[in-house]
Amino acid sequence: MSSAYMNKQTLKPIPLQGRINAFDFLRTLMIFFVIVLHVSMTYMLDCPFWWYVVSKKVSPAFLVIVNVLDIFMMPVLFFISGYFTPASYLRKGTVGFLKDKIRHILFPWLLGIIVIVPLYSLSLGKSMGDVIGIVKEDSLYLFTWQGHLWYLGILFLFLFAYALVAYFSPPDSVRTATASNQKNILLLLACMVVSAICACLSVTCMAPFDDWLYFVSVFTLKPAKAITYLCLFMLGTYAWQTNWFIKGGWMPRISIWRILAISTAACYVLLKLCVIPDYDFPLSDKIVPVFDAVCSFTTLMYALLIGMKLQASRIAGWLINLSPYSYGIYWIHIPPMILYLHLINDAGFPIFIKWISGIAATCFFSLLISKYVLKKWPLLKDMF
């Protein structure tokens, strides 16, 4: 009997209770960064006109923060979602898996569009009558302004597609032997190339890099990032199957990915801030999407390895304890953020104090709502 066959027989799926602490730590940290990014948008230079609250005083420092955080947050979240998908499917089967994702992803997405999106307007002082009037004029208004809830809609599509493929081609019930370092590196390079090519094509054929588009009238996404997110999700499923980031599995050297992540991210931010505003650099509209796609994978790997290294630290332990509430925090954070930032918008204290207090207030009130409402109330606690 070959050693490869023996390895395949002895490697078992991670049970539900066998979470990887680094991933729970990273997921909670990424949701905190989502809040930091959204608060920073209020105070950044060239804030988009459609943003909920625009400060009268702005700083280019927050533009840098937004562009840096935007590189790696969603890649990490999509990868982690993909990583735990095969084990969930194997435990529950197709029907049980879909029921679980409908309850935990699809229903919160739809509920958020019905409840959270109107709260955006109410937080800014509009009446419910105003919101109802807008919805009567445009029946898809709530989907158009779903904001951060886009992630749940796209994630459900990925999970549904995975279940459909797995139904006809089920994943192995045991984890395969760890792939070689060379094979994993080649796979990462292939993902980067495919993502970069598709990002360039989307910029050429569909929309500029930063534009959002709607498809099937209810889902929203940046076309330039669509295939990148899909590749990241699929990479996560592959990583689980081939034992990435577990004892005895593939654990690449952090020093190499640190250099790659920092260098590619620095180039991306410089290009994004210096090239995109003018578009006077040759092929500028193609170079930035390419760097974005590459950075999505280099910064992902570095973030995952940092998570593995810090998972036993005190701050990681604190964030791991908050991880049961992280989903609810993400779901509810925009309305309290809008309300607080709107209330302090005319206050006279320095912009950086407003920024810090905005992050703290949003985290605090979102945690309270997640812990004592979303995790306690009937029906809601089954979703969150």
Secondary structure, 3-state, 201-264: HHHHHCCCCCCCEEECCCEEECHHHHHHHHHHHHHHHHHHHCCECCCCCECCCHHHHHHHHHHH
For the cut 50, the answer to whether the pLDDT of residue 31 exceeds it is yes
CB of 192 within 8 A of CB of 301?
no
- Res 42: pLDDT: 95
For the cut 90, the answer to whether the pLDDT of residue 352 exceeds it is yes
The whole-chain average pLDDT of the chain stands at: 87
- Closest to 11 in 3D by CA, of 250, 236, 305: 250
User: Between the CA atoms of 17, 23, 29 and 30, what dihedral angle is there, to the nearest 10 degrees?
Assistant: -120
| C-alpha–C-alpha distance, residues 104 and 111, integer Å | 11
Split at pLDDT 50, 70, 90, the class of 281 is: low
- Res 9: pLDDT: 34
Considering only residues 349 and 8, tell me which one the structure prediction assigns the higher pLDDT: 349
Only one residue has tokens 């989907």, namely 143
For the cut 50, the answer to whether the pLDDT of residue 12 exceeds it is no
The one-letter amino acid at 169: S
Split at pLDDT 50, 70, 90, the class of 280 is: low
Tokens of 68: 């840096």
Task: Give the β-pairing of 213-215 and 219-221.
Answer: antiparallel
* pLDDT tens digits, one per residue of 290-306: 999 999 999 999 999 99
pLDDT above 70 as % of the chain: 91
For residue 45, the number of C-alpha atoms closer than 13 Å in the C-beta half-sphere is 9
For the cut 70, the answer to whether the pLDDT of residue 10 exceeds it is no
What are the boundaries of each domain within the chain? 21-383
Angle at 152 between CA 55 and CA 156, to 5 degrees: 160
